Structure 1
Amino acid sequence: LSAICLLSSVCPIEWQTDHQGFKLVNKSVIQNKIEAIGEFAGGEVSLVVNVASECGFTDGHYKALQQLQRDLGSSLFNVLAFPCNQFGNQEPNSDQEIESFVRKTYGVTFPMFSKTAVSGTGASATFKYLIESSGKEADWNFWKYLVGPDGKVVGAWGPTVSVEELRPQITELVRKIILKKKEEL
């Protein structure tokens, strides 16, 4: 499902959800590339995070998110980062500027998506699904939504809950995928 083609400009993201869970089907901006989002759906664990470059939580969260991505790899787990400027105007830059900043400052290797609304009536379909499924709506930067390999939302946490506090739960979900794959051999 991974189809990559180069683009010269930023394309908006489009998402679909279905009644069975989190289903990523269209496109996202990642380093001026278009990637089929389907590669993040089905069989993987995802930590979906609304991020901001100028927030008090930025440094600690980006460092911890990148370390988690590095430790767990990208074959069974991905951080999916969504820049958002809804809270305190703390993500004012363009998609390209945001990506450049996080790659240079934090060495981010996980997917960075186009800036999007994550709460309220203007929230993207993705975040509407996450809110509906978890019963929790982001009210600040660095909300984290954990999505299991079945596409169901496992939990949601605000910015005061550290990435390290979530690590055991995320690691357990990844471990279960590995064990299931071993059984299938």
Structure 2
Amino acid sequence: MLNVGFYFVMYSCSGWCCRAHLQLDLPTRPVRHEPLCCVGSLTVMMLPAALAVLLTIFSLIETKEKDFYTFKVVNIRGKLVSLEKYRGSVSLVVNVASECGFTEEHYKDLQQLQRDFGPYHFNVLAFPCNQFGQQEPGSDKEIDSFVRRVYGVSFPLFSKIAVVGTGANNVYKYLVESSENEPDWNFWKYLVDVNGKVLNAWGPKVSVKEIRPKIAEMVRQIIIKKKEEL
């Protein structure tokens, strides 16, 4: 008997390899060896299984449930930011405009909401939009300067976007699909809970004061829960 040890390596077209060490006791008389093509055949046989695993992984990634806070947007100063920072808070998402008949009332009341509830896990999130009546014609810098100077806005503002149509921002596509309410004018308001789910939507004719009690109750529930967790 002859004792023989050797290594072999298998490569697949995807680039991975497998190396193994074999220790065999071989008879001294000649034996018939399997052709090397068997190694290649084994690799080919393993490819479907490997591809199936990869497809399953990609499928799980793609089907991960989205919510409002999973998106990234550009803020009014041109920086890409994640909405994840607002998770755990109630958000009122509004498409705003500087030259609309609803501008003054809404901006004043939105700022009051931010002032009253901002310290308690609430934010107004404003997205300028020029699609309705061309009433937000200015640049991001001009919009930011105007609302801070005239209305003392302290809530987060984001870069001007489209909220309807084929060019609509993905954030608004999500809001519309989730609420089944598409904005048809400025100052549509979407109420988003702490988990990023859209609870309700109101058009510009519904005042901020009318929905204030709903927001106040949601904020109150957050405060109670936070105290219980202490």
Query: Which of the five TM-score ranges fits, normalised by the shorter chain?
Result: 0.7 to 0.9
Q: Percent identity?
A: 64
Deviations 1:52-108 (A, max 9, x none): 000000000000000010011245000000000000000000000000000000000
Conserved 8 A contact 2:186-2:204:
yes
Give the aligned residue type for 1:99. D
Give the aligned residue type for 1:114. S
Structure 1: runs of 5+ lacking an equivalent: 1-17
Give the aligned residue type for 1:126. V
**Residue 200 of structure 2 is aligned to residue 155 of structure 1:** yes
User: What's 1:164 paired with?
Assistant: 209
Cα 1:66–1:172 change in 2 (3 A) is same
Cα 1:36–1:134 change in 2 (3 A) is closer
**Residue 111 of structure 2 is aligned to residue 59 of structure 1:** no
User: What's 1:13 paired with?
Assistant: none
User: What's 1:68 paired with?
Assistant: 113
Of 127, 132, 137 in structure 2, the residue corresponding to residue 92 of structure 1 is: 137
CA distance in 1, matches of 2:68, 2:82: 15
Of 218, 224, 228 in structure 2, the residue corresponding to residue 173 of structure 1 is: 218
CA distance in 2, matches of 1:33, 1:20: 22
Deviations 1:133-178 (A, max 9, x none): 1010000000000001111101000000000001011111111111
User: What's 1:83 paired with?
Assistant: 128
Give the aligned residue type for 2:122. F
Tell me the number of residue pairs that the alignment of Structure 1 and Structure 2 aligns. Answer: 167
Partner of 2:69, secondary structure, is coil
Of 44, 67, 72 in structure 2, the residue corresponding to residue 26 of structure 1 is: 72
CA distance in 2, matches of 1:34, 1:22: 16
Cα 1:91–1:74 change in 2 (3 A) is farther
RCO greater where, 1 or 2, for CA within 8 Å and sep 6 or more? Answer: 1
Give the aligned residue type for 1:103. R
Cα 1:146–1:33 change in 2 (3 A) is same
**Residues 9-48 of structure 1: pairs in structure 2 closer than 5 A:** 19-31=65-77, 35-40=81-86, 42-48=87-93
- How far residue 27 of structure 1 moved from its aligned partner, in angstroms, is 4.3
Give the aligned residue type for 2:166. T
Of 179, 183, 186 in structure 2, the residue corresponding to residue 134 of structure 1 is: 179
Partner of 2:68, secondary structure, is coil
Asked which structure has the greater CA Rg, the reply is 2
CA distance in 1, matches of 2:92, 2:134: 23
- How far residue 115 of structure 1 moved from its aligned partner, in angstroms, is 0.2
Root-mean-square deviation (CA), in Å? 1.6
User: What's 1:119 paired with?
Assistant: 164
CA distance in 1, matches of 2:160, 2:188: 15
Give the aligned residue type for 1:91. E
